[in-house]
Amino acid sequence: MTKQVELKAYDKNALDDLFSGASQEDSDNKNTTTLPIDSIILPPSQPRRYFDPQKIQSLAENIKENGLLSPIVVRSTSSNEFELVAGERRLRASKLAGLEKIPVNIIDCDENAAVRIRLVENLQREDLNAYEETIGILELLAAILNLDQKNIVYFLNRMLDEEKNKVPQNVLGSDESLTIQDLFSKFGKITWQSFVTTRLPLLKLPSDIQDVLIRGQLEYTKAHAIARVKNEQAREKIIKQAIDEGLSLSQIKEIVEDVLEAGKTDKEETPFQQLASRGKNVQGLLKKHRKLLENEQKDNK
């Protein structure tokens, strides 16, 4: 049985409010004001993991020339401090641009709502890569359903198995599954079925592959191809070559096939394997010798 979510019943309007809430920075907010940039603190956990230094620098130059056109979103945590809810990239660039004050929208929300808004805002980024998107969706589902990510992954796989009639229906049609389906519908980039079959496997990729995905240096289709190479040193060489030379997917697949084929032909036997092979050869010779003896005995009779 799955863990019951906090919501007692499926509320379709809940996700509408959540997705619209992440866009409060673009609305006419009565709480729009200017705050000292040093009074804004980062929350303990931010959904975004990597910022391209060149893009931050470019945004900082733009802010120097035109100012920050879109306010960041904060919430009050004390009389003198405000916690960032959405807009970390703009906050970083504003600091780099040397701003002492920054335009903000102050919203009234608790920690749970702030976490959800941050996650939705992160998912709506234009430069989101497949790995970041996968982690972001899992984090958002975990926050909404009050489940850990491991259970979310299990729940999604169970939904797909039930839809394909591989297992008896148990979770499809539940409040959790309706919330999941509605979230993917609101998100609009991928169906939940495709997410299970094409995105969840990204969580099993080697750590070096995951690292370049986090940095947005490699497309996830290329990452899947390179992950076929199990030798870590060989894989790292392919990763570096793919990034440095901007290799296409077909070029990467060709290199991977060459590496895998070379691994088959160049593979050396371990001492144990060599002894085993010799043992088999000796056994073969003994069998032949016994047959020869048996034939000689028959001839002598």
Confidence band, pLDDT 50/70/90 cuts, at residue 226: very high
Q: What does the pLDDT read at residue 4? A: 31
Q: What is the dihedral of CA 209, 211, 213, 214, to 10 degrees?
A: 160
DSSP class of 19: H
Q: Would you say 84 and 41 are in contact if contact means Cβ atoms under 8 Å apart? A: yes
Per-residue pLDDT tens for 72-120?
999 988 767 899 998 888 999 999 999 999 999 998 888 888 888 888 8
Per-residue pLDDT tens for 280-301?
555 666 666 676 667 666 666 5
Per-residue pLDDT tens for 257-276?
999 988 776 555 555 555 55
